[in-house]
Chain A
Amino acid sequence: MMSRIDDERYSFLAFARNHVFVTLFGIVAPVLLFACFIGYPIVYTIYLSFFEWNGMAPTKTFVGLANYSYMFGDKYFYISLENNLKWLVVSLAFPVVLGFLIAYAMRVRAVYFPTLLRTAIFFPVTMSLVAVGLMFLLILNPIFGAFDTVLRALGLGFLVSEWFGDYRIAIYTLAFVGGWAFTGLPMIFYFAGIGDVPKETFDAARIEGAGHLRMMLRVALPQLRSVTAVVVMLTLFESLKAFDLIAVMTKGAPFGRTNVLGYLVYLESFWNSRFGYGATVSVAILVLSIAIATLMLGTVFRGAFDV
């Protein structure tokens, strides 16, 4: 294309003159849509976080930083934040690590029926979390649930717990159910990624006498940095978005112990009609996700997205 990148006069306007169609429909239109449906909502959320508003009344009351100071003293905010972090840890440990191990096992044919299993593990990724939640409500039911029956049959009856009733484990139950539905995604990414790693590097390592552990850690993983970066980012945002399962399975019970930030926003805004405070928690989520993303891209995954 005629692009005068070599020219000092080259500017966006010069480009626009030469490429009217591309500029209009390829740049201006999407940027406008972004401004209306993504940019404006973000700005509005920040604006709203300085007000008190019940969502209906025509007037909003300016309260300055009151919502923020309330948030930092709000017990439920801290519980939710902690739950999001627990969720993130479980998601990184269970679906991501397991997804990698499964992908590796399938690549080295350490498992039978890899195609069937890959389909089975990926399938929950396509399920709505409402369906997944409902399903595990039945399976983890304290009286009629299949899971407890299996545990008892395996002689592990002492592990049987109130999966949703016990406030100490309820959030982990939810995170593991989420992990069950999420594992397929890291697995697919790693499966494709390992397929792109030059096979010769594995052969060479094997001839040098490396075992599977060494090959995973020293041969496969270092060559999968960009895949890991994508997967970890996806996991991160997935954990911060956690909402559906909670809405279906616990609604924050017991005693708000399974609240996460996303659900707190929904509760405060649409049930308690405290839109200002809901917006404040939204801002917290936003800051948190941008901060973590920037931190990770700047350190662990520096350069992983360079094309």
Chain B
Amino acid sequence: MASVSLINIEKRYGAQVVIPKLNVEIADGSFVVLVGPSGCGKTTTLNMIAGLEPITAGQLLIGARDVTDLPPKNRDIAMVFQSYALFPHMNVFDNIAFGMKIRRLSRSEIDTRVRNVASRLRIDAFLDRRPKALSGGQRQRVALARAMVRRPGVFLMDEPLSNLDAKLRIEARSFLTKMHHEVRTTTVYVTHDQSEAMTMGDTIVVMKDGLIQQAAAPLEVYNEPANMFVAGFIGSPAMNFLELSKADTKLVDREHELEFPVSDRLRAVLDKYRKAKVVLGLRPDALRPAPRNAEPAGAPRFSVDVAQHLGHETLLDASRGPHRLVARVSGTDDSKIGETRAFLLDLDNMHLFDPDSGANLASGGTGPNAR
């Protein structure tokens, strides 16, 4: 068990700066998910924690020990790879026992620990099989067993579920979470899948271009995104953004006859805001069509372009002038394509962003490219 601290970590390849300055504090026993689009630096960060890539500058502490320049084997870590990286010429037992054999543990000790972890992960029936004789899910658990058996202070996981098919992935997700609740080993988990991040992490670290956009608990990231990037990245379908003008206590686009009221909380924010333009962020769930016979006057009206019927719900792609949005509505909704409908808003579920910096006006956060 160990905490992990990244202090002013920097990564350069020659003149190219991949990670300018990274500070992350990972508490002992927590499950931290690094999430972001490809090329955001999350895997590089993980590899630096693992010792697979050197740290250009800064300091890395694992359990209060400075490991910045130590090789992987002295860092008290284990890693699960996307491709599982099982040794194809060894059977499951030897795969799991590899690290302990390298460390010259006694034969009986190795045997008990391998069998122990194998039974917990329900792979004890395959111990003498080669990896190629296993299914994807079984291989994934062997990789996990190999990491767990050494009882390291930190687990590092690099997209461990993305080689599984959709159904297995959901199973493995809850399995991993359950395992973490049992063993409580500090885990750093890298993924590009925002739903994995939301469901698995205690803390989500959203990254873009080597910079941390927001590091917080999943629901906080969802409900109070620091900026437009986080707001757009977390949540599916993504948040809708409408660029509007400030008019007194409302947000408007006069040219296209759109008018949005705001809640009291946001009105206070708007009062302090000096620019004329503002971006309104609306989650797809914050919109629903008003009944046709009771359309309130002044409600924003959008014409329905596409209706995606998913059964339990329907996604409406709607537009007006340059504005486009997606609304997640009831599966029984009967909007016709081409029909113009008035939408009711959930006033407590609206976000305001600075159109230039992208920062969330309410949280006082910074924009995605601030350093």
Contacts of A3 in B (CB 8 A): 54
- What is the minimal beta-carbon distance from A9 to any residue of chain B, in angstroms? 11
Contacts of A2 in B (CB 8 A): 51-54, 71
- What is the minimal beta-carbon distance from B57 to any residue of chain A, in angstroms? 10
- What is the minimal beta-carbon distance from A243 to any residue of chain B, in angstroms? 43
Contacts of B13 in A (CB 8 A): 5-6
Is B56 close to A, CB under 8 A?
Answer: yes
Contact A6 B52 (CB under 8 A): no
Contacts of A5 in B (CB 8 A): 13-14
Bound-complex Cα distance A74 to B54 (A)? 62
User: Which residue of the partner chain, among B51, B54, B71, contacts A6 with CB atoms under 8 Å?
Assistant: B54
Bound-complex Cα distance A5 to B52 (A)? 13
Is B351 close to A, CB under 8 A?
Answer: no
Is B122 close to A, CB under 8 A?
Answer: no
Bound-complex Cα distance A4 to B14 (A)? 10
- What is the minimal beta-carbon distance from B85 to any residue of chain A, in angstroms? 15
Is A196 close to B, CB under 8 A?
Answer: no
Is A7 close to B, CB under 8 A?
Answer: yes
Bound-complex Cα distance A5 to B51 (A)? 15
- What is the minimal beta-carbon distance from B48 to any residue of chain A, in angstroms? 11
Contacts of B14 in A (CB 8 A): 5-6
Bound-complex Cα distance A2 to B11 (A)? 14
The number of residue pairs between A and B whose CB atoms lie closer than 8 Å in the complex comes to: 18
Is B12 close to A, CB under 8 A?
Answer: yes
- What is the minimal beta-carbon distance from B363 to any residue of chain A, in angstroms? 35
Bound-complex Cα distance A7 to B14 (A)? 7
Bound-complex Cα distance A75 to B75 (A)? 73
Q: Identify the interface centre among A2, A4, A5: most chain B CB within 10 Å of its CB.
A: A2
Nearest A-chain residue to B69, judged by Cβ? A2
Interface of B is mostly: loop
Contacts of A1 in B (CB 8 A): 52
Bound-complex Cα distance A217 to B306 (A)? 50
Bound-complex Cα distance A6 to B15 (A)? 8
Contacts of B71 in A (CB 8 A): 2
- What is the minimal beta-carbon distance from A24 to any residue of chain B, in angstroms? 18
Bound-complex Cα distance A4 to B51 (A)? 12
Bound-complex Cα distance A303 to B147 (A)? 43
Bound-complex Cα distance A63 to B12 (A)? 58
Nearest A-chain residue to B16, judged by Cβ? A6
Contact A7 B56 (CB under 8 A): yes
Contacts of B56 in A (CB 8 A): 6-7
Bound-complex Cα distance A6 to B55 (A)? 9
Bound-complex Cα distance A179 to B81 (A)? 51
- What is the minimal beta-carbon distance from A1 to any residue of chain B, in angstroms? 8
Contacts of A4 in B (CB 8 A): 54
Nearest B-chain residue to A8, judged by Cβ? B14
Bound-complex Cα distance A7 to B53 (A)? 11
Nearest B-chain residue to A1, judged by Cβ? B52
Contacts of B54 in A (CB 8 A): 2-4, 6-7
Bound-complex Cα distance A7 to B68 (A)? 15
Nearest A-chain residue to B72, judged by Cβ? A2
Nearest B-chain residue to A18, judged by Cβ? B71
Q: Identify the interface centre among A4, A5, A6, A7: most chain B CB within 10 Å of its CB.
A: A6
- What is the minimal beta-carbon distance from B161 to any residue of chain A, in angstroms? 26
- B-contacting residues, A1-48, CB 8 Å: 1-7
Bound-complex Cα distance A4 to B13 (A)? 9
Bound-complex Cα distance A5 to B16 (A)? 12
Nearest A-chain residue to B14, judged by Cβ? A6
Bits for A62-100, please: 1 = Cβ < 8 Å to B, else 0. Answer: 000000000000000000000000000000000000000
- A-contacting residues, B145-193, CB 8 Å: none
- A-contacting residues, B1-25, CB 8 Å: 11-14
- What is the minimal beta-carbon distance from A95 to any residue of chain B, in angstroms? 39
- What is the minimal beta-carbon distance from B210 to any residue of chain A, in angstroms? 14
- What is the minimal beta-carbon distance from A48 to any residue of chain B, in angstroms? 46
- What is the minimal beta-carbon distance from B77 to any residue of chain A, in angstroms? 14
Bound-complex Cα distance A174 to B14 (A)? 56
Bound-complex Cα distance A291 to B12 (A)? 41
Bound-complex Cα distance A81 to B52 (A)? 55
Bits for A218-262, please: 1 = Cβ < 8 Å to B, else 0. Answer: 000000000000000000000000000000000000000000000
- What is the minimal beta-carbon distance from A35 to any residue of chain B, in angstroms? 32
Contacts of B11 in A (CB 8 A): 6
Bound-complex Cα distance A3 to B14 (A)? 13
Nearest A-chain residue to B11, judged by Cβ? A6
Nearest A-chain residue to B56, judged by Cβ? A6
- What is the minimal beta-carbon distance from B370 to any residue of chain A, in angstroms? 25
- What is the minimal beta-carbon distance from B180 to any residue of chain A, in angstroms? 29
Bound-complex Cα distance A3 to B52 (A)? 9
Bound-complex Cα distance A5 to B54 (A)? 9
Bound-complex Cα distance A1 to B72 (A)? 10
Bound-complex Cα distance A5 to B53 (A)? 10
Contacts of B51 in A (CB 8 A): 2
- What is the minimal beta-carbon distance from B69 to any residue of chain A, in angstroms? 9
Contacts of B52 in A (CB 8 A): 1-2
Bound-complex Cα distance A3 to B51 (A)? 11
Bound-complex Cα distance A53 to B215 (A)? 80
Nearest B-chain residue to A6, judged by Cβ? B13
- What is the minimal beta-carbon distance from B10 to any residue of chain A, in angstroms? 10
Bound-complex Cα distance A7 to B13 (A)? 8
Known: A2-B54, A6-B13. 10 other contacts (CB 8 A): A1-B52, A2-B51, A2-B71, A4-B54, A5-B13, A5-B14, A6-B12, A6-B56, A7-B54, A7-B56
**Can you list 6 contacts pairing A with B, beta carbon distance less than 8 Å?**
A2-B52, A2-B53, A2-B71, A4-B54, A5-B14, A6-B12
